Amino acid sequence: MMKKKIIVANWKMNYDLHETTFFLRNFLKYIKEKKICHNKEIIIAPSFPFLHISNQISQGTLLKIAAQNIFFKDKGSFTGEISASMLKSIGIDIVIIGHSERRKFFLEDENSLLKKLKIAIKHKIKVIFCIGETYEDRNKNNQYSIIEKQLNNTIFHCSPNEIKLIYIAYEPIWAIGTGVTATIDQITKMHYFIRNIFYEKYGNTISSKISILYGGSINHLNAKNIIYSNNVDGGLIGNSSLNLEQFVKIVQY
């Protein structure tokens, strides 16, 4: 059976209350009128203050709402942080963890990412876990060893049951927000590599079921080719997901 393609919009630190609700209402109106997207899983990750209203707006539709981050403790004196149970209390059960911007600007290391992963899973929150190599890594042909190391230090600490709650997003850092997309050859080779190490660690059922998304400068022109490539189960989309017209095109493919 063909897996549903997964399209995730990562809005990052964009859109206020008005812009968020305007986009969501119009997006939902459009996909309802056109009767599209029933063969896809569509997830949008707005900013924290608007998760609750976004979730209310998308109730009863096929759209799911995700958080862009989570903290690795259940509660306590952690000023400014958001816990798993807070997210659950407003009906959010998907989170992005390990995005390269969080690793870079907020110094999130693999140790803390593993803790975030574990606490999300403990609360039955689905995780979109990002991995990816830098430009230098790729130039030195180190991309495969880097990806394997990132997985070894985080995801591969999870049991087969825990893995069921995880989507992998392969996002080469040099392709994020740069307009430079990885080639189909680079994407399919890396996705094959990732699926193969899942096979070695967890066997056939898990490796064939795990969803591996690609992210990095996907737009309405290249999305179809990428999303329907071998071993690619969907896309994680930043910039182009902020443009309603473009995003609608991407989810229609």
Residues serving a catalytic function are 99, 171
Instruction: Report the chain's C-alpha Rg in angstroms.
Output: 17
Separation of alpha carbons 26 and 21, rounded Å: 8
By CB under 6 A, is residue 215 in contact with ligand PGA? yes
Q: Which of 223, 238, 250, 251 binds ligand PGA (CB under 6 A)?
A: 238
By CB under 6 A, is residue 95 in contact with ligand PGA? no
# binding residues, ligand PGA (CB under 6 A): 13
13 vs 107 by CB, closer to ligand PGA: 13
By CB under 6 A, is residue 171 in contact with ligand PGA? yes
> Closest separation between CB of residue 146 and ligand PGA, Å?
17
Q: Which of 55, 57, 239, 251 binds ligand PGA (CB under 6 A)?
A: 239
DSSP alpha helices (H): ranges in the chain?
A: 17-34, 51-58, 84-89, 100-105, 110-122, 135-139, 143-153, 160-163, 184-202, 204-209, 223-227, 244-252
Q: Which of 125, 218, 227, 251 binds ligand PGA (CB under 6 A)?
A: 218
Separation of alpha carbons 220 and 78, rounded Å: 40
65 vs 207 by CB, closer to ligand PGA: 65
234 vs 238 by CB, closer to ligand PGA: 238
By CB under 6 A, is residue 44 in contact with ligand PGA? no
By CB under 6 A, is residue 234 in contact with ligand PGA? no
Separation of alpha carbons 82 and 69, rounded Å: 8
Segment (H or E) for 75 = none
By CB under 6 A, is residue 207 in contact with ligand PGA? no
What separation in angstroms does the CA of 47 have from each of 86, 116, 190? 14, 18, 30
Separation of alpha carbons 178 and 9, rounded Å: 17
Q: Which of 57, 168, 237, 250 binds ligand PGA (CB under 6 A)?
A: 237
DSSP track, 4-71: PEEEEEE--S---HHHHHHHHHHHHHHHHHHT--TTEEEEEE--GGGHHHHHHHHTTSSEEE-BS---
By CB under 6 A, is residue 113 in contact with ligand PGA? no
Question: Kind of pairing, strands 40-45 and 5-10?
Answer: parallel
Among the listed ranges 102-110, 134-142, 194-202, 231-239, the one in contact with ligand PGA (CB under 6 A) is: 231-239
143 vs 217 by CB, closer to ligand PGA: 217
What separation in angstroms does the CA of 60 have from each of 20, 171, 250? 18, 31, 22
By CB under 6 A, is residue 236 in contact with ligand PGA? yes
What residues from 2 to 31 belong to the interface with ligand PGA (CB under 6 A)? 10
| Residues contributing to the site for ligand PGA (CB under 6 A) | 10, 171, 176-177, 215-218, 236-240
